[in-house]
Homo-oligomer: A and B are copies of this chain.
């Protein structure tokens, strides 16, 4: 017989999930109702409205995909890219590379703009890519690279894209709720995020938003969307205004309760206050890390407050330190991914984890574990 699973109580300061407040956990445990229940329809409408607040957008088509951020990413690409469409993909970390994979699998023709891992996307390279490829239909970039902690200049990249009459797909998995994400002001056409980063909800849902221009493109496609589950033409019928909904799939009811509660908490705090809190906690952590002699991977100008990537000191066994932090302090921090595996640590200050108590605890634990 298998016993019930009682998880250890960790402090989550990796690249996500972040600590989930008890209020959100309690919401997850409320009684399940049907996904077509009028009360659930009301819940969905409130979630859509609060996500618009978080994304700073008026986009009607703003909702949570019933799956993790990877599926939100795929929804953007399979709907907006048709076979043969040229897509400029900015790659300055793991998640830009994953965008490239998505372009290939939709039959798109990728044009890759590479930047060093840890650097922001260089707008000049993007300008040049558009000049060499005036037929490019989409620019895809990661606003906040979770693999490195670098933030790119979304406003400038979106402006260049508009000047060339193309659409923008933006990954804001790690930025939404933590640093400014201004879809309408920037003119982003498709964006996807995750529930488990600066929204501090449990993992499994992917907030997305699409502009009118993106919808026009989807509705004028010549080929069907290759995914049934992620086809916006079908999902639209499910997430559109109450009263007209048609059955598409069974939504994850209880995780939606959790996302709703996390957005209520964000409303209560105020979006700008949440950004300021992430910034303030970052400054405190940074001072402490520097006092320990640790160096940041990303230049100050492009540094994400909510994801602090630091070099593993020379001669230190990075995995052993992470294990020690986990076992002795119940503290999770992140390892490097891809080319940065073994070379960096990623310390998250996301959502509910971005608080003084966590900053102090992390610094204390690191001090105790570093040689």
Contact = CB atoms under 8 A, between A and B. Distances in A.
A233 to B, nearest CB: 12
Contacts of A29: 25-26, 28-29
Contacts of A253: 17, 202-204
Given A203-B252, A247-B337, A332 B32 contact: no
Interface string A311-324: 00000000000000
B257 A7 contact: yes
Interface residues of A, number: 81
B254 A37 contact: no
Interface string A29-61: 111111101111001001001100000000000
A82 B240 CA distance: 33
B204 A252 contact: yes
A2 B229 CA distance: 30
Interface stretch (A67-75, A123-131, A298-306): A67-75
Contact of A14 (B16, B34, B104, B257): B34
Interface of A is mostly: loop
A360 interface: no
Given A7-B257, A204-B204, A261-B5, A194 B67 contact: no
Interface string A89-127: 000000000100110111000000000000000000000
A46 B5 contact: yes
A6 B35 contact: no
9 contacts: A5-B27, A10-B37, A14-B34, A29-B29, A32-B202, A70-B228, A70-B248, A70-B250, A204-B250
